A = this chain, B = another copy of it.
């Protein structure tokens, strides 16, 4: 079995840094009210080796530290760490193997995103914030068995049909989000819940009109290329 000692100093340095990033970002899941108890996880892929850092399984958020994070290869085999990795590890690994630009994956059961997933409905693009972040609807993916790579497979399939969306609402389960790093995936998870809540509330007020695709494309283009610090 491979261990971290088999890797060079550059990899070990990145592991150390990514353990801190991933541990820290789990606090954001609490800040944005995306998770209950231990249900939810963040991972980040390394740039220096085919490895990823992920949450340990079933550990309460207040007990997470950089050293309790688990390092696995991209088939979910543990390479470093004293804990068992998240039960969603195989799906995170599948996503990294099949979407080479993705370096961060997040899974939550956030309330309103999961409500849309339970109802089997896409969140319709009726807000500028959705044009920005998703470039269209937030799609629902199929129901799949948990703890195997079946979920990762379905996430990848669904995202191929919605290439601008960083989020999939897995039916009867909850959202999975991706990004160029773990922070971007956490951001997508937070925005997914926020717009799921907003549009859920809007539906109680009356019929909603989707934004025209041309406006959505303009929003998405500007947000992707201009917004933020460059």
Contact = CB atoms under 8 A, between A and B. Distances in A.
Interface of A: 32, 36-39, 56-59, 83-84, 87, 109, 111-112, 114-116, 118-121, 126-129, 143, 145-147, 172-174, 187, 190-191, 193-194, 197-209, 211, 215, 218-219, 222, 226-230
Contacts of A194: 36, 39, 109, 111
Contacts of A120: 206, 209
A147 B222 contact: yes
Contacts of A222: 87, 146-147
Contact of A129 (B109, B115, B199): B109
B115 A205 contact: yes
In the complex, the 4 A-B pairs of residues with the closest C-beta atoms, listed nearest first = A58-B228, A115-B201, A118-B202, A119-B205
A111 B129 CA distance: 12
Contacts of A187: 37
Nearest to A189: B37
A183 B199 CA distance: 28
Nearest to A130: B172
Number of copies: 4
10 contacts: A37-B187, A39-B194, A57-B228, A58-B229, A84-B228, A87-B227, A111-B197, A121-B206, A128-B172, A200-B201
B128 A218 contact: no
A226 B111 CA distance: 25
Nearest to A170: B128
Contacts of A208: 118-119
A203 B200 contact: no
Contact of A39 (B39, B87, B129): B129
Given A205-B115, A208-B119, A226-B87, A145 B198 contact: no
